[in-house]
Amino acid sequence: MKILIYGAGVLGSYAAYELNRVGHEVTILARGGRYKEIKEKGLVISHWLQRKITVDKIKVVKELLPNDYYDVTFIVMQALQVEAVLPVISENISCPLFVFVGNEDKAKEISDKVKNTSESKPRVIFGFFSIGGRREGGKVISVHTKHPDFDIGDLEGKDDYKPIIEKIFKKSRFKIHYHMNMEDFFKTHIVFIMPLAYLAYMSNCDLREVSKNRQALNAVIDAIIEGCDVLVKLGYKIDPERSINFVKKHRSLVYLGLKICAATPLGRLAISDHCKSAWREMEYLDKALLELTKKSNLITPNINKLRKHLINYINKNNNDYIVKREGTYK
């Protein structure tokens, strides 16, 4: 099938590699230096856990034109970057299916904007790749399991997209998880990942410094529970529900996992490296979490305490960004 990966970061690069590996006609959209890297050197990925490096020659373009056709277009970008590409998507009259992949906390708004501004009325669904890593020296260092998860769904429980997704991923290593409402999944994901991000910023993005901090690790677990309580209060479903059940029933195992992750290179590659390079995305998601907690009227002492480390990190490392003293954003 003819597939476009719109975005050449860590997630987009791995998706392009895997779908190209199973025989699809894959094109990756990149800009600036990243376009030049892929054009001249190919798609270079260091698979960290698998201890191997792959180099693939993949077609790369700089833009999506109105008449360009792809069976499926995956928009793999940070949440705060998506708004800028919506006009390009709406102007395209040929692509039938767009899959927005990432921390899309405003999925409903994105879907509505495409539907209301596009003449062709393409199908819009949402997904999330469970892959970590960073870009370094012209290559992507990708942290993924043998069978990385790909969560996907729409916002209304419809499943008409499943046949084409099954066809695309049938031979791939991805493990597909279908969701009735990706809005619930994204909100759940935010309340799980933001406490981890706060922990990274507490240590100035060196998690080894907090690996022995029992109070901080326990505060992360309590913050996750607080966040889930906020979602339930607001009427969202915890998705997957087993995630919070595991945290509550097996707290000691969760604590041990956090400790090991923070003390090893896995924590750096899977958490702190991303927090360091994508602090604006973390700030964006923090604002989303802050809005949810305020709306719920619940007391969230652990979230409030931990998020101050993100604010301090931004103030210390990014003088052009202004944050109010009390921890709310201008």
Domain co-membership, 157 together with 9 = yes
Domain co-membership, 12 together with 150 = yes
Q: Where among 157, 180, 203 does a domain terminate? A: 180
CB atoms closer than 10 angstroms to residue 165? 21
Question: 271-281: per-residue pLDDT in tens?
Answer: 998 898 888 89
Residue 300 located in a structural domain = yes
Residue 172 located in a structural domain = yes
Residue 322 located in a structural domain = no
Domain co-membership, 203 together with 258 = yes
Tell me what pLDDT residue 137 has: 86
Domain co-membership, 168 together with 232 = no
- Rounded (5°) CA angle 84-87-90: 140
Residue 325 located in a structural domain = no
Using CA atoms, how far apart are residues 219 and 195, in angstroms rounded to an integer? 8
Across 217-226, 259-268, 297-306, 309-318, least confident range: 309-318
- Rounded (5°) CA angle 168-172-175: 95
* Residue 321 pLDDT greater than 80, yes or no: no
Domain co-membership, 152 together with 242 = no
Nearest to 128 by CA among 156, 104, 96: 104
Q: Average pLDDT in the 1-20 region?
A: 97
Tell me what pLDDT residue 80 has: 85
| Number of independent structural domains in the chain | 2
* Residue 71 pLDDT greater than 70, yes or no: yes
Q: Where among 180, 205, 224 does a domain terminate? A: 180
Q: Average pLDDT in the 185-211 region?
A: 95
Across 67-71, 228-232, 265-269, 326-330, least confident range: 326-330
CATH at residue 164: 3.40.50.720
Tell me what pLDDT residue 323 has: 47
Q: What is the mean pLDDT of the chain?
A: 93
Domain span at 308: 184-317
Distance of CA 253 to the CA centre of its chain: 25
Tell me what pLDDT residue 6 has: 98
